[in-house]
Amino acid sequence: MSHINVTINGRQYRMACEEGQEVRLLKLAESLETRVESLRGKFGEIGDARLTVMAALTVCDELLDANHRIRALEEELEALRKVRVAATDRARVTQTAVANALNAAADRIEKTTQMLNRTIGGGVAIG
């Protein structure tokens, strides 16, 4: 387990994280610090705790919106998968129908060829 110091709202906090996650934790803290600074710019000095809570609520709001968007995209993806399966099934049915039609046409051509061969072969020989 690693420990790093992060600064949020002008205060340093010693945080523990898994090995290799130090840079990520620093970026998360920087993002929260940016939000706190932005809120301070909008609302002025309204208290450290209140600024931190407002920044956390902003993050939660974005997370909630992102989760809704993810769910909507997952539903859209599932619908597209169903459309793809239906299209594949239709293509398979069409392919089978075309193959059957070609086989039937080949059978008719073969029968017509046999009939012509009998007709021509059974006719009067010239010579």
Residue range 36-80, pLDDT digits in tens: 999 999 988 888 889 989 999 999 999 999 999 999 999 999 999
User: Exposed (0-12), middle (13-18) or buried (19+): which is 35, by Cβ within 10 Å?
Assistant: buried
Residue range 26-48, pLDDT digits in tens: 999 999 999 999 999 998 888 88
With bands split at pLDDT 50, 70 and 90, how would you rate the model's confidence at 122?
low
Half-sphere exposure of 7 (CA within 13 A, CB side): 4
The pTM (predicted TM-score) of the whole model is: 0.62
Tokens of residue 28, six digits: 């998360």
What is the DSSP code (8-state) at residue 7? E
With bands split at pLDDT 50, 70 and 90, how would you rate the model's confidence at 85?
very high
With bands split at pLDDT 50, 70 and 90, how would you rate the model's confidence at 103?
very high
Give yes or no for residue 123 having a pLDDT over 60: no
User: Is the Cβ–Cβ distance between 55 and 12 less than 8 Å?
Assistant: no
